[in-house]
Amino acid sequence: MIRFLYKFNDKFISKWLVLALDIFIVGLAFLLATTIRFNFQLTYTDPYLFKYHFLGVILIKLAVFLFLGSYKGIIRHTSIEDAKLLLKASFMASGIIYGLSWLNIRFFYSYLHIPLSIVIIDFFILSLGLIASRFLIKAVYESMLNTFKSNKAVIIYGSGRLGMVTKNTLQNDRKNLFQVLCFVDDNPNKAGKTIEGIKVVNKEEAKRIIESKKNLDIELIMAIQAISPVRKSEIADEFLELGVKIRMVPPVSHWINGQLSVNQIQNIRIEDLLERPTIQINNRLVADYLESKVIMITGAAGSIGSEIVRQVLTFNPTQIILVDQAESPLYDLETEFSRLKNKTKGEVSLKYEIRNIINAVQMEKLFQKYKPQIIFHAAAYKHVPMMEENPFKAVEVNTMGTAMLAKLASKYKAEKFVFISTDKAVNPTNVMGASKRLAEMYVQSLNRHHQNETRFVVTRFGNVLGSNGSVIPLFKKQIEKGGPVTVTHKEIIRYFMTIPEACQLVLEAGTMGKGGEIYVFDMGVPVKILDLAERMIRLSGFEPYTQIPILFSGLRAGEKLYEELLGDKETTLPTHHPKIMVARLKAGDYEELDKNFTETRSELNAMTPAEIVQYLKKMVPEFISKNSVYEIFDKANP
């Protein structure tokens, strides 16, 4: 039966058949109205006049229906708007009939003078009949579908307009058979009521329904947009504990042609649960800062660099130079931006340059060629364990590469150089963090150099969601393979920020920076990585420890349990943006640092890993290794 219904699901009743049904209801309504008016005493009715009245009413209402098109709606999709149209048609027709009856013209007066009482009674009966017929057919159709529904059921969180749209979308989908069990709403005044035959319950009642229907495959669809990330996370956690899959309705702006489809209702992601309130930046100031500028972005093919490019594009610069050594990711960006070119304001010239930032000759040629006014330096080696094994590359790229670029920016009189650092540069416990801290020191000292006209700004933030090599993509891969999911330590915590959020703050900090500042971002509440792993497993439809095991692999080389954003000797001052603080550190002597860097650069290729680490510890005294073979140097020099 259900296959029969869905076979004709995309076929609709002819509009002429609907019109014929409406005319039948018109005749029946007028006959009933006349009968009621005369107290069911048909002897008071003149059959000769009645046939003219009857024919006149039919023709007038037929003309109104044709004029308004009230018969063209799809009955099984009948809505309040359809009901309004039917009321309008009934009212207009009754008004015309009464108007013609009122005119004291012999022809009409003789044959079409219908008493006002009959017109009023007819209006109410006809309106009720037209609307009821449509909703009755719709209810019968849905009832037949629900009778043969599969064991796939949904609970919709949110009974507002978005919840109703979601419910109708699910019930009208012909490929998926959904049974809507109930609406869930936090408003206590709605609990116990029904909407289009579906009960509205509170959260506790919804849990009882889930427990009582263990035989069904139940999904919870969150159809509510005005909800804080914290509240969204709380709701998700409560229902994930019950083994319920959770999906989300996308924002209305993401609907295709303004219409929601079942395919757009996606599984909720861990990123959705870790989001924070939307960051607001001063777009006017950022626009004034970036508009009509030549901008260079290093590491442009990376997760942070590419997002900076996307956001900078919206502020209409003259030219963007995308620098990266990775050919394929840079090609992917070129493909992406070529499709977006027509959507940007004005003509933004995008130049893709495959370069290694440590090649001083090649990088200087780029500066000579493009004369960049603003540089966002995002290129870096950032994986802690890899840099513990390869300290040479950490110093060569993160430290010396940054210093060389900074000097080029100063030489070619760039307006501003924004260096994207990391929270691991605070009291570093690993080579990667120490190499970044040393680069910070150089950049800050260069800002104070008397021959320099470029303003140097440093930004620090922690982990970003979904960035290359972050823990979330790793967990996803492990879950897809059936586990185990590896967590380094039960108590390890990290700060997380979305990539767009981090890049917004980079642009804002770059705008407000006068030179020499180290800007620190408010990373919010730290997340326990074990909780993150358990959540991700449940979001994937599995139970942690039983279906997907979690193993503790131990802290990796150079890794610490708790990340910091400020060093012990640092203080912060607020800025005009509540999410951005400025850390005040005393800048080092540029001449001394530059001389040291020049000597070290010439000797770096010959240095052993141990010598490089010792060099870092000498230059960055707060660098104390943890879970690393290099701890021996700290013990030798306590």
What are the average pLDDT values for consecutive 10-residue runs of the chain, which has 638 residues? 47 70 82 78 63 79 82 68 81 81 56 75 83 76 59 80 82 71 85 81 86 80 79 83 82 67 75 66 81 94 91 91 93 84 65 94 95 95 91 96 95 94 89 94 87 88 70 83 86 79 86 84 77 83 85 78 59 75 78 92 92 94 89 75
Helix (H, G, I), strand (E, B) or coil at 485: strand
- DSSP code of residue 400: I
Helix (H, G, I), strand (E, B) or coil at 351: strand
Backbone φ and ψ of 471, nearest 5° = -70, -30
- DSSP code of residue 604: G
Separation between Cα atoms, residue 49 and residue 94, nearest integer Å: 18
What is the per-residue pLDDT for 325?
A: 93
Task: Enumerate the domain spans of the chain.
Answer: 2-144, 149-268, 283-619
Separation between Cα atoms, residue 418 and residue 409, nearest integer Å: 10
Q: Please name the amino acid found at residue 508.
A: E
Residue 638 preceded by cis peptide, ω within 30: no
Superfamily of domain 149-268: NAD(P)-binding Rossmann-like Domain (3.40.50.720)
What is the per-residue pLDDT for 4?
A: 47
What is the per-residue pLDDT for 297?
A: 96
Query: Same CATH topology for 149-268 and 283-619?
Result: yes
What is the per-residue pLDDT for 120?
A: 86
Half-sphere exposure of 204 (CA within 13 A, CB side): 4
Closest CA to 79 of 174, 169, 212, 6: 169
Q: What are the angstrom distances between the C-alpha of 610 and each of 385, 388, 487, 614, 616?
A: 15, 10, 29, 6, 10
Exposure letters 552-577 (e unless 16+ CB within 10 A, then b): eeebbbbbbeebbbbbeeeeeeebeb
Separation between Cα atoms, residue 338 and residue 322, nearest integer Å: 14
What is the per-residue pLDDT for 8?
A: 45
Where does 283-619 sit in CATH, by number?
3.40.50.720
Contacts of 505 (CB under 8 A, 6+ apart): 279, 281, 459, 461, 519, 521, 577, 579, 580
Closest CA to 519 of 442, 616, 419, 435: 419
